[in-house]
Structure 1
Amino acid sequence: MTLTVAIIGSGPSGMYLADRLAKKLPDSQIDVIDRLPTPFGLVRAGVAPDHQGTKKVINQYEKLFSQPGIRFLGNVEVDRDVTIAELKQFYDAVVIATGAQVDRKLGIEGEDLKGVYGSAAFVGWYNGHPDYRDLTPVHHHIRSAVVIGNGNVSIDISRVLVKEPGEMEESDLCEHARAAIHNAEVETVYLAGRRGPIEASFTPPELRELGKLESAIPVIENTALPDDLPDWVDTSVPEGRVRSKNLEIFKSFQELDASSAQKKIHLLFQASPAAILGNDQGEVRAVRFERTEIDGNGKATGTGEFFEVPADLVVTAIGYRSRALAGVSFDDKRGGYPNEDGLIEENVYVVGWGKRGPSGTIPTNRADSFQVADRLIADLGDGQSKGGPEALNRLLVERGVRVTTAKDWQLIDQLEVNRATGPAPREKLTRVQDMLDSLD
């Protein structure tokens, strides 16, 4: 069976889907479309710059573009250069793999103050995502930053803010962010969440990193760690074992000497953000929290007791929403696409965070994409190919779209590697026009 499939998005979900389809249907034609000239989505622009081991999965994805029948079409934006309706005409199946790109809001007073950013924007800024290149979230007078959220993204942000220059030499932290962060000399980070240490969504490897920083020490101040796990934690399942390991790590933090630390990461548990406070210039100056209490099932509820933490910068890391595409059903309340095991409507599918919400790791996306690929193949059966790539080629030429290919990405990739200084793996091009100009 020969099928034509358009995959919108070249992050992990899209690439794993392409891999599965190519192996199951070696004669298929698969076009991976991305609105940026460069592929690989959040692996390139979301994974922490000092987690180079995680980013090596890109090497696996790149091999796919050398296979016959799989193309990369970069700098092509759905709803700008082509519509879903047109793709449905051209391809046997269309798969949305765009992830969740929009920060969720806290819904509290003060979120619009200067100095308040969502984690998608902030991480995108220091990772060189073109959408956020011109933000200026970090400036010279920042001393205290508040990061709201008890997940790995909040750990990444906190860690990057307090690492010494030498600790980031082997990262691909972009130069504009590197200079701003190091000149700011952030002294204190408050990593805050409404739940307790047992309920936090950290994973042990990321949490453990906080205890190995050169100049910063993690400090637990407002919550007493329990001697043992509560009854609702089942250590016979992976989630329970993670909570058990995290408790051990938290206890190890208490053994560190923070008295002479140059920088501190204050782990604020049972602290629910109630308002972000500003000064007369409309700049953030503090965050007001309500203390919470944890019930026997691990749920947090407010106590009516409030306290304030000073802040020159606030980053919220509380989750993400997908962006709607014209002509496709979208659940605005959930921030994702209504679907049945990946099927949105006839011949239109969704994978990854747009399907199930912003949860899981890169391997989670692999399993999810494989399941949707298998369903797509079963649904389409022995259907006749529509021969979509040629029709899309003609349309994009007619509309004057400058499409980037896998070979173009290789050129950009090599240029970025050549731009690096010292042991850094690359210095990214951070503006779309600069990427395109480098190919001329």
Structure 2
Amino acid sequence: MVNFGKIKLISRSFTTLSSAPLRICVVGSGPAGFYTAEKILKAHEGVEVDIIDRLPTPFGLVRSGVAPDHPETKIVTNQFSRVAQNDRCSFFGNVYLGSSISLPELREMYNAVVLAYGSESDRSLGIPGEELAGVHAAREFVWWYNGHPDCRNLSPDLKNTDTAVILGQGNVALDIARILLRPTEELAKTDIASHALAALEESSIRKVYLVGRRGPVQAACTAKELREVLGIKNLAVHIQQADLVTKPADEIEMKNNRIRRRVYELLSKAVPPGHTPVLGQRELHFVFFRKPDKFLESDDRSGHLGGVRLEKTVLKGDDELVNQVAVGTGVYEDISCGLALKSIGYKSVAIDDLPFDNYKGIVPNVGGRVVTDSLQDHMQIETGLYVCGWLKRGPTGIIATNLYCAEETLACISDDINKGLLTSNSPKPGREGLLQLLDSRNTKVVSLDAWKKIDTEEIRLGHIKNKPREKLTTWEDLLKVASE
């Protein structure tokens, strides 16, 4: 096996009831994984924590999901790096749960396993034409411009159309709209992947439609994200004034939710009365009360997207006029476009030997403890197996949400330790056993030291281009630098 950097194998005495430490493995090195590791290390002095990730790089969504023009959000990686450098913590990248090692094997090596590998798939709309070229999941597009090695070759066609339709109005949808519409000279100063910047510099996209099933009161974005996209230079914003008319149910929603009121107020002021767009401006259209019905094939290019058919909707609520849902009216309209991005939610991936709720896209759990049998009269908890983050609660919240999620999972772990359900009386091989098994399978483990080589090289390359970093975007380049 090629050893990628110096692996920490630490031997020391512990002031615990047994001579061996309690060993816990966290699967996933995004915010949920690192917050969980940090809290375990702080709460339990005699515990060793190993973090494994299928990528050669740590930080998950912070590296691959946060928009390149949001550097302030990425500062949290400094905190995560300090966790990884703790003497009782080790990072092992390029270790894929399910192929490099199975869940039963991992559980055999550790006293407890915390699954925090997030959501690496996408929800499907289940409508005709979803397979057409030009239709992409938002996750793929975000990974593409953020330099994720799995989407390096996505190559979305930005040159053969002037219109993009984004289905969804959450923060991810607004991020994508901003990347498509923002001047590339501004993006050039960020850590955006070079292949994405080059494509955006040649992009013909001039109009972006943000489509939502419900109204402006129910838009899923935050005020901060909305202000950013509305503040793009030389941008004409379009909103139908009729869509801004509120009903009693909307007023109730805004009264009960300050964020929704703020978003609605920003949208209401986005297009001043009598405003006339300037010729040549890029355009951002907010389209409310529409749901996708089908993707239309291009008349000119077989197998390629030519447009999106939308069905008009109305909102219907319960007797208290809340919980408004969008209901189709049977009236349709088409938007011509060559690029459509589905920003309708990420989805976690099931693995062998793990209970999984396919409908909710999560692992069944109670407060973070994995549940293997959840019949009404019986609930079986899987001792020593926990979840945190999107795998636990679904793809919701911001990065900081994972902090509170990790605290809840830690409370379960601590409770099980105190009850004697997790004990080191029967020593587990932990990282030593993990490395031996991976070595026998010729897995090229990327250690923390090896990641530092990647980090150093990316920063060096970025300095040449006056960027914070120039990301290595292929598996080959990442593993090559890690092994040097």
Q: Same fold (TM over 0.5)?
A: yes
Alpha-carbon contact 1:330-1:337 (below 8 Å) kept: yes
Q: CA RMSD in A?
A: 1.6
SS in 1 for 2:217: coil
For 2:360, the equivalent position in structure 1 comes to 334
> How big is the shift at 1:259?
3.6
Deviations 1:193-239 (A, max 9, x none): 1110001111000001122101323211274313687342253x5xx
For 2:253, the equivalent position in structure 1 comes to 233
Alpha-carbon contact 1:154-1:317 (below 8 Å) kept: yes
Q: CA separation in 1, counterparts of 2:206 and 2:232?
A: 13
- In the superposition, the TM-score normalised over structure 2's length comes to 0.87
Q: CA separation in 2, counterparts of 1:123 and 1:413?
A: 21
Alpha-carbon contact 1:292-1:303 (below 8 Å) kept: yes
Structure 1 residues without counterparts, runs of 5 or longer = none
Change (3 A) 1:27 1:223: farther
Deviations 1:101-139 (A, max 9, x none): 111011100000000000111111111111111111133
Matched, 1:249 2:266: yes
Alpha-carbon contact 2:25-2:114 (below 8 Å) kept: yes
> How big is the shift at 1:411?
1.2
Change (3 A) 1:222 1:110: farther
> How big is the shift at 1:170?
2.5
Alpha-carbon contact 1:223-1:270 (below 8 Å) kept: no
SS in 2 for 1:273: strand
> How big is the shift at 1:55?
1.0
Alpha-carbon contact 2:27-2:117 (below 8 Å) kept: yes
Q: Quick one: which amino acid aligns to residue 45 of structure 1?
A: S
SS in 1 for 2:80: helix
Change (3 A) 1:22 1:257: farther
Q: CA separation in 2, counterparts of 1:158 and 1:257?
A: 21
Change (3 A) 1:82 1:198: same
Match among 386, 403, 407 for residue 366 of structure 1: 403
For 2:4, the equivalent position in structure 1 comes to none
Q: Quick one: which amino acid aligns to residue 142 of structure 2?
A: V
> Structure 2 matches for 1:318-397, cutoff 5 A?
318-344=344-370, 345-381=382-418, 382=420, 383-384=423-424, 385-397=427-439
Q: CA separation in 1, counterparts of 2:202 and 2:173?
A: 21
Match among 424, 435, 438 for residue 478 of structure 2: 435
Q: Quick one: which amino acid aligns to residue 393 of structure 2?
A: R
Q: CA separation in 1, counterparts of 2:56 and 2:267?
A: 42
For 2:187, the equivalent position in structure 1 comes to 168
Q: CA separation in 1, counterparts of 2:199 and 2:254?
A: 44
Matched, 1:274 2:285: no
Q: CA separation in 2, counterparts of 1:164 and 1:95?
A: 42
Q: Quick one: which amino acid aligns to residue 306 of structure 2?
A: R
For 2:6, the equivalent position in structure 1 comes to none
Between stretches 295-304 and 173-182, larger displacement belongs to 295-304
SS in 2 for 1:99: coil
SS in 2 for 1:56: helix
Q: CA separation in 1, counterparts of 2:123 and 2:229?
A: 25
Between stretches 224-233 and 373-382, larger displacement belongs to 224-233
Deviations 1:290-332 (A, max 9, x none): 0111234332111111000011100000011111111111112
> How big is the shift at 1:257?
4.9
- In the superposition, the TM-score normalised over structure 1's length comes to 0.96
Alpha-carbon contact 1:167-1:214 (below 8 Å) kept: no
Q: CA separation in 2, counterparts of 1:16 and 1:414?
A: 24
> How big is the shift at 1:8?
0.6
Alignment size in residue pairs = 437
Matched, 1:128 2:147: yes
| Structure 1 segments (4+ residues) deviating >4 Å | none
For 1:262, the equivalent position in structure 2 comes to 281
Match among 84, 88, 92 for residue 73 of structure 1: 92
Alpha-carbon contact 1:222-1:268 (below 8 Å) kept: no
SS in 2 for 1:308: strand
Matched, 1:194 2:213: yes
Q: Quick one: which amino acid aligns to residue 342 of structure 1?
A: G
The percentage of aligned residue pairs carrying the same residue is 37
Q: Quick one: which amino acid aligns to residue 452 of structure 2?
A: Q
Structure 2 residues without counterparts, runs of 5 or longer = 1-15, 371-381
In terms of Rg, which structure is larger?
A: 2
Alpha-carbon contact 2:254-2:260 (below 8 Å) kept: no
Q: CA separation in 1, counterparts of 2:47 and 2:236?
A: 53
Between stretches 242-251 and 137-146, larger displacement belongs to 137-146
Change (3 A) 1:145 1:432: same
> How big is the shift at 1:422?
4.0
> Structure 2 matches for 1:5-16, cutoff 5 A?
5-16=24-35
SS in 2 for 1:348: strand
Alpha-carbon contact 1:270-1:300 (below 8 Å) kept: yes
Q: CA separation in 2, counterparts of 1:56 and 1:108?
A: 39
